[in-house]
């Protein structure tokens, strides 16, 4: 932990000592922005309820000043045709996969390859209990609640993705782009 003393001097101290110095009013904690770590993508198999499910996993987060990593793991599963579909409106757009970003082409290809090797891995919805068990076994934490909810809604209602693509196509036709 980095602290700044009343005389202006700064030093790195153990986190426990630094917290005590701050609590006693002897020093202030110096915080510097730390860039997020690069996201880590993977194609994983989740097992539960006597079934296996293929999913795309993204782990992202940042390293703190104490070199602790605070990460979030999110999962996406569903029809690969809609993996990078976007909802677009005048002035903005959003990926409807719930991950908030495009799934890299090489990861999506590995996901498709896994499903081609074993079509039973593709499921419209992975039970929450199977996901909780996966996170428990891998020491990962849940992604933002909105992220998984979006994934489940997409998986449960493929029509949402179809409608988004239809609206996008109509928008492109209306603009004369196609």
Pairwise CA distance, residues 17 & 40, whole Å: 33
- Beta-bridged to residue 86, according to DSSP, are 95
Structure confidence at residue 66 (pLDDT): 55
Domain enclosing residue 2, as ranges: 1-32
88 shares a domain with 6: no
Digits of tens for pLDDT over the chain (178 positions)?
A: 788 888 888 888 888 888 888 898 888 888 766 656 788 899 988 877 678 888 898 888 765 555 555 677 888 888 888 899 988 888 888 888 888 889 999 999 999 999 999 888 887 677 777 777 777 766 655 444 333 333 444 444 455 556 666 776 677 778 776 6
Alpha helices in the chain (DSSP H): 15-23, 105-117, 128-138, 145-156, 158-175
55 shares a domain with 25: no
2 shares a domain with 47: no
Look at residues 59, 55, 60, 61 and name the one whose alpha carbon lies nearest to residue 83: 55
77 shares a domain with 11: no
Please answer whether residues 49 and 131 qualify as being in contact, where contact means their C-beta atoms are separated by less than 8 angstroms: no
Taking CB atoms within 8 Å and a gap of at least 24, the contacts of 100-107 are 100/147, 101/39, 101/58, 103/41, 103/56, 103/76, 104/41, 107/41, 107/42, 107/43, 107/56
Residue 155: CB atoms within 10 Å: 20
Please answer whether residues 103 and 97 qualify as being in contact, where contact means their C-beta atoms are separated by less than 8 angstroms: yes
73 shares a domain with 128: yes
Count of domains observed in the chain: 2
Rg (Cα) of the chain, in Å, rounded?
A: 22
Pairwise CA distance, residues 37 & 75, whole Å: 18
Query: What's the gap between Cα 29 and its chain centre?
Result: 30
115 shares a domain with 91: yes
125 shares a domain with 83: yes
DSSP 36: B
Structure confidence at residue 163 (pLDDT): 64
Whether the model clears a pTM of 0.85, i.e. scores above it, the answer is no
């Amino acid at each position: 932990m980095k602290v700044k003393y009343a005389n202006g001097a700064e030093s790195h101290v153990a986190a426990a000592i630094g917290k005590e110095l701050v609590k006693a009013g002897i020093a202030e904690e110096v915080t510097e922005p730390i860039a997020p770590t690069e996201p880590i993508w993977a194609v994983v198999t989740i097992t539960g309820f006597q079934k296996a499910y293929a999913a795309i996993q993204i782990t992202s987060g940042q390293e703190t000043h104490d070199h602790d990593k605070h990460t979030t793991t999110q999962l996406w599963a569903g029809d690969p045709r809609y993996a990078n579909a976007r909802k677009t409106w005048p002035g903005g757009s959003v990926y409807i996969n719930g991950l908030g970003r495009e799934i890299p082409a090489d990861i999506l290809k590995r996901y498709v390859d896994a499903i081609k090797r074993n079509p039973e891995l593709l499921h419209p919805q992975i039970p929450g209990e199977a996901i909780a068990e996966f996170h428990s076994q891998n020491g990962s934490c849940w992604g933002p609640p909105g992220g998984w909810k979006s994934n489940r809604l997409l998986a449960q209602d493929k029509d949402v993705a179809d409608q988004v693509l239809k609206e996008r196509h109509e928008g492109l036709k209306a603009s004369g782009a196609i």
